[in-house]
Structure 1
Amino acid sequence: MIKLGYARVSTLEQNLNLQVDALKYEGCKQIFTDKVSGVKSVKPEFEKLMDYARTGDTIVVWKLDRLGRSTVQLIELMEKLKERGIHLKSLSESIDTSSAMGNLFFQFMCILAEHERNIIRERTKAGLASARARGRKGGRPTGLSERYQLIAPEVRQVYEKNNRSTDEIRQMFNIKSQPTLYKILTFAGADVKGFLKKRK
Structure 2
Amino acid sequence: MLIGYARVSTDDQNLNLQQDALNQAGCECIYEDQISGVKAERRGLQEAINYARPGDTLVVWRLDRLSRSLKDLIEMVTLLESRGIGLKSLHEAMDTSSSSGKLIFHIFGALAEFERNLIRERTQAGLKAARARGRTGGRPKSLSNDKQALAVKLYDEKKHTIKQICTMMGISKPTLYAYLKQEK
1:86 has 2:85 as partner: yes
Q: Is the 8 A contact 2:92 2:108 kept in 1?
A: no
**Residue 109 of structure 1: how far off its partner (Å):** 7.5
CA distance in 2, matches of 1:76, 1:99: 18
How far apart are the structure 2 equivalents of 1:106 and 1:16?
A: 23
Separation in 1, partners of 2:97, 2:40: 27
How many angstroms does 1:41 deviate by? 1.4
Which 10-residue stretch deviates more, 35-44 or 25-34? Answer: 35-44
| Identity over aligned pairs, percent | 53
* Secondary structure at 2:77 match in 1: helix
Q: Name the count of aligned residue pairs.
A: 117
What secondary structure is seen at the aligned counterpart in 1 of 2:71? helix
Q: Supply the AA of the counterpart residue of 1:59.
A: L
Question: Paired residue for 1:46?
Answer: 45
**1:104-136 deviation digits (Å, cap 9, x = unpaired):** 3356589x6xxxxxxxxxxxxxxxxxxxxxxxx
Match of 2:24 in 1: 25
* 2:63 alignment counterpart: 64
* Cα distance change of structure 1 residues 11 and 106 upon mapping to structure 2, 3 Å threshold: closer
- 1:100 CA drift (Å): 3.2
Deviations 1:60-118 (A, max 9, x none): 000001111110010001011111110000011111012231133356589x6xxxxxx
CA distance in 2, matches of 1:45, 1:32: 5
Q: Which runs of 4+ in 1 moved over 2 A?
A: 103-110
Take 1:71 and 1:91, find their aligned partners in 2: how far apart are those partners? 18
Aligned mates of 2:98, 2:62 — CA distance in 1: 18
CA distance in 2, matches of 1:46, 1:99: 23
Task: Kindly indicate whether residue 107 of structure 2 is the aligned counterpart of residue 99 of structure 1.
Answer: no
Q: What TM-score, normalized to structure 1?
A: 0.53
RMSD: 2.7
Alpha-carbon contact 1:71-1:109 (below 8 Å) kept: no
1: CA distance between counterparts of 2:108 and 2:24?
27
Residue 104 of structure 1 aligns with an amino acid whose one-letter code is: L
Match of 2:76 in 1: 77
Aligned match of 1:8:
7
The correspondence of residues 34-183 of structure 1 with structure 2, limited to 5 A, is 34-106=33-105
Report how far residue 39 of structure 1 moved. Answer: 1.4
1:75–1:109: 8 Å Cα contact kept in structure 2? no
List runs of 5+ in structure 1 lacking aligned partners.
113-160, 164-200
Counterpart-to-counterpart distance in 2, 1:33 and 1:74: 18
Task: Describe the SS at the equivalent of 1:54.
Answer: coil
Tell me how far apart the structure 2 counterparts of residues 40 and 63 of structure 1 sit (CA, whole Å): 17
Q: Give the number of the structure whose alpha-carbon radius of gyration is greater.
A: 2
Q: 1:55 to 1:9 in 2, by over 3 A?
A: same
